A and B are shown apart, each in its own frame.
Chain A
Amino acid sequence: MPIGEPRAVASSGKRGSLLDDQVWRWATFAPALLFMLGLSVLPLVNLVATSFHQVSWVGASAVWQPVGTAHYEALPNDPLFRAGLLNTVIFAVSAVGGQMVLGFALALLCSRIRGGRIFYRTIFILPILIPGIVIGAIWKLMLNFDFGLVNKIVSLFGLMPHDWLGSPATALFSVIIVDIWHWTPFCFLLFLAGLESLPQDVYEAAQIDGANRWQELRYVTVPLMVPTIVVTFAFRLVLAFKVFDEVYLLTGGGPGTSTEVISFTLYQRFFTEDRVGYGSAMGVAVIFLVSLLLVVALNTRRKREGMA
C-alpha cells in the first residue's frame, strides 16, 4: 500500500493561479472525501451507535431501545464469536503461510528459466479473477463425497473416499487448501515481479565471490526481497481475515463450528438472525481488533527502523 510524500506542484508565476490552485485542490479531493466520510466514517459512527441499542424494524423506520453495554458484555460468552475468531486466525495464518512459501518457490523457478514466463503468468492470473463464490462452487464439485474428483483420485490409491467438507476433522483443512489454491498464483505474480526488478550486478558480485545457489538465495535474494515479501504478506493477511464467500458456499460455517470464520459469524448474527444491535457490537469489536493489529504492526516496524 503505497503512501508517498506528495510532490507539490510548483506554482507558476501567473497571477490568480494560486487561487485557481486552491479551488481545484479542493474540488479534485472533495468527491473522494465525501465518499469516505459519508459511506465509511458515517456508517461506522452509525454502527457504534447501533451497538448500544436494541433495534427492531417497524416498516422502514427503526425503533431504537438503549441497552447500554449489554451487547459488548455478551460478546466474550458467545461460542460462535469465539470459534469465529479462533478459526479465522488458524485459517489466515496457515493459508497465507502456505501461499507465501509455494508462491515464492514457483516464482524463483520461473525467474530462473527464460522461456514461457508469459504463458505461466497468464494461467496463474486466472484464479485471481474468478469470483470467490465460483471458487466455492468449483471446489464443492471437486470435493463432493459421491462424485467429486478428489475422492476419485483418493480411491485410485486404494483409500476410502472421505467427506472432506462434511466431517469436522477435515472441513477447515479443506477450506485452507482451497484458499491456498486460490491465492498462491497471486503471491507468485507479486514475487515474480519483485524478482524481475532485482538489480543484476549483486548476483554477478556474489558469483565472483564464489557463492553457491543456496548462499545466493539466503544472502542475496531473500534480503533484497524483504519489502515485497512484507507487502504481499500484509496484503494477503488482510484479505484472509475478511474471508467470507468460500466459507459461505463450501461449508456455511459447519459442520458444527469447525469452519466458522468471523465474517460469517457477523453475517449470521446481524442478517440471518436479524440481531442488528448485537451484530453491530460484534462488528465494532472486529474493527477494533483489526485496527489494533495495524497499530501493533506499524509500531513494531517503527521500532525496528529506530534500532537499525
Chain B
Amino acid sequence: MRRMHLSRLMGHAVLVIAALVVLFPVVWVVAAGFRTPISLLMGEFAFSPVLMNFAEVLFSKTSDFLLNYRNSLLVGITSTALCLLIGTTAAWSLYRMRWHPWVLHSFLGWTIIFHMIPPIALAGAWYTMARSVGLDNTFTGLILAHTTLNLPMAIWLMGVFVRDVPQELIEAARIDGASTPVLLGRIVVPIIRPGLAATGVLTFVFSWNEFAVALNLTMKQTATVPVAIAKFAQDYEIQYTQMAASAALSIVPALVLLVIGQRFIVSGLTKGAIK
C-alpha cells in the first residue's frame, strides 16, 4: 500500500514538472510583454510591469495590430462557418447516402493526399490563380484558401459524428415525410451539435494560426495576426518586447476557447484518431 502511494506521488511529480516545462515558456513570453526592453536585456527576474508595449502594439500609428486582429477574426469566422456547412453536408452525403464505393474512396483518398501536401506548395498556385482573377490580397482569396485547407479535416471529423446518428431516428423522420433539408436541420444537427462545436473550435484555431498561406496571399491591409508577428521578428532591430506583447495578445482567442470549450477540443482531437 505504501509503495502504491509512493509511485503515485512520483507520477504526479513527473507530470507536474512536464506541465511546468510546457507552461513556463508561455508565461515567460507573456511576462516579457510587460517588461521594458532594458529590463529584458538586463535579464532581471523581478521587474515592475509596464503597459507600454501593449499600448505601442495596439494604439501606435505605425502599428496595424488591431486591423490584423480584425482580419484574423473575419477570415477565421467566415472560413469556419463555410467548413462546418460544407463539411457537414458532405459528410452526410458521403457516409449516409448511397454512393458508389469508387466515388467515396477516390474523394476521401484525395482529401488525404491533399492534406499531406505542404500548403506552401499550393500557395504558389493559389497566388497565381488569385492574381489572374484579381483576388490576390483580398479576404475572399484567403477565406477560400483556409476553407479548402481545413475542409478535409471537417469532413473526416463530421463523418465520425454523422455515422453515429441512429438509423431509427432517420427512418422515423422519413416515414413522417421529412425532406432532406428538414431531416438535416431538425433531427441531425441537434444530435451532432457536440461534433459541430469540436470541429468549429479546431477549424477556427487552425485558421487563426495559419501562416504560410496568409503570408503570401495578403498585403498590409489584409494581413493576419501571425503575419504581423512575423514582421516584428524580421525587422533589422528586433523589437523583442513588442513581439512578446503581440504574441501574448494573439493567444487570447485560444485561451478563451480553451476555457469554454476544453471538452470539445479534446473530443475533436481524439475522436478522429481513435475511431
Interface on A for B, CB 8 Å cutoff? 1-14, 17, 20-21, 24-29, 31-33, 35-36, 39-44, 46-47, 50, 55, 57, 60-62, 106, 109-110, 112-113, 116, 118-134, 136-142, 144, 146-147, 149, 152, 181, 185-186, 189-190, 193-194, 197, 228, 231-232, 235, 238, 241-242, 244-245, 248-249, 262-263, 266-267, 270-271, 276, 279-280, 282-283, 286-287, 290-291, 293-294
Q: Which of B155-201 contact A (CB under 8 A)?
A: 155-156, 159-160, 163, 167, 170-171, 174-175, 177, 179-181, 184
4 tightest Cβ-Cβ pairs between the two chains A and B:
A32-B90, A43-B125, A283-B121, A24-B180
Quick check: A141 and B29 within 8 Å, CB to CB?
yes
**Residues of chain B contacted by A42 (CB below 8 angstroms):** 129
Instruction: Tell me which of A12, A32, A44, A152 has the highest count of chain B C-beta atoms within 10 A of its own C-beta.
Output: A32
- Pick the contact of A123: B7, B22, B87 (CB < 8 A): B22
Contact-size category for B: 35 or more
**Residues of chain A contacted by B85 (CB below 8 angstroms):** 31
Rounded to whole Å, the gap between the CB of A192 and the closest CB of chain B is: 8
> Can you show 21 pairs from A to B with CB atoms below 8 A apart?
A6-B95, A9-B167, A14-B174, A28-B89, A29-B99, A35-B86, A39-B144, A50-B125, A57-B131, A106-B18, A120-B15, A129-B257, A130-B209, A134-B29, A137-B247, A138-B247, A140-B243, A142-B25, A147-B41, A244-B118, A244-B212
Q: In the assembly, what is the distance between CA of A138 and CA of B266, in Å?
A: 24
* Residue of chain A at shortest CB distance from B19: A123
**Residues of chain A contacted by B6 (CB below 8 angstroms):** none
**Residues of chain A contacted by B12 (CB below 8 angstroms):** 113, 116
Quick check: A124 and B22 within 8 Å, CB to CB?
yes
Q: In the assembly, what is the distance between CA of A190 and CA of B124, in Å?
A: 33
Q: In the assembly, what is the distance between CA of A12 and CA of B208, in Å?
A: 43
Quick check: A25 and B108 within 8 Å, CB to CB?
no
Rounded to whole Å, the gap between the CB of B224 and the closest CB of chain A is: 10
**Residues of chain B contacted by A280 (CB below 8 angstroms):** 124-125
Quick check: A4 and B126 within 8 Å, CB to CB?
no
Quick check: B15 and A141 within 8 Å, CB to CB?
no
Quick check: A276 and B128 within 8 Å, CB to CB?
yes
Quick check: B108 and A3 within 8 Å, CB to CB?
yes
